[in-house]
Amino acid sequence: MIFANPHYLYLLLLLIPLIVWYILRMRKKQASLQVSAMQAFDTPKATTWKVYMRHLPFVLRMVAVALIIVILARPQSTNSWDTRSTEGIDIMLIVDVSTSMLAEDLKPNRLEAAKNVAASFINGRPNDNIGLVVFSGESFTQCPLTTDHAILLNLFKDVQSRMIEDGTAIGLGLANAVSRIKDSNAKSRVII
């Protein structure tokens, strides 16, 4: 684990004087009882859990301060930027989400069958940039070109009929896909 601001960890050293101060204060604060006869106190009583619980607020405060200091140091487990260079092709998938895709000539319906086929296609293309455009009466980009296929598959699960105005504007879907893929630097560009 690395820290973005490791110099804040030096603040943990300030806890040592606080702990020493608390211990000294508790020693001075010991209760004393002056009695003329000590017969009632001859048998020593076992210390109960209540005796130890009086220190709990201080311990919790010290733990809270230590955690705040660690938070200020900003622990980081990995670098969040993942840069990969791949030599794949750019593929834009276009999916019709009109109500005609709810026909049950394929099981369970056309849309679900298309989603299943597309998911297996995406899983078989690990080095390709793949995007998703959906259309019906209108068209929009559900997912731009990406190599993060987990996100693409997650967005693909959300595709459903009636998510946009009903119709079959395949021209808008193609135009949207072409506008997404036209500036690509890939050697091959495909719209499916």
The domain locations on the chain are: 2-76, 90-191
How does pLDDT run along the chain (192 residues), one tens digit per residue?
A: 788 889 999 999 999 999 999 999 888 876 666 666 666 556 666 667 787 888 899 999 999 999 999 999 998 876 666 666 667 799 999 999 988 888 888 888 888 999 999 999 999 988 889 999 999 989 999 999 998 899 999 998 888 888 888 888 899 999 999 999 988 888 889 999
pLDDT score, position 46? 63
pLDDT score, position 44? 61
Measured in whole angstroms, the distance separating CA 143 from the mean position of its chain's CA atoms is: 19
Measured in whole angstroms, the distance separating CA 163 from the mean position of its chain's CA atoms is: 26
Amino acid residing at 51: V
pLDDT score, position 103? 85
pLDDT score, position 3? 86
CA atoms lying within 13 Å on the CB side of residue 42: 3
Which CATH entry fits the domain spanning 90-191: 3.30.930.10, 3.40.309.10, 3.40.50.410, 3.40.50.2300? Answer: 3.40.50.410
**Cis status of the peptide bond prior to 108, with omega within 30 of 0:** yes
How far, in Å, CA of 3 to CA of 14, rounded?
19
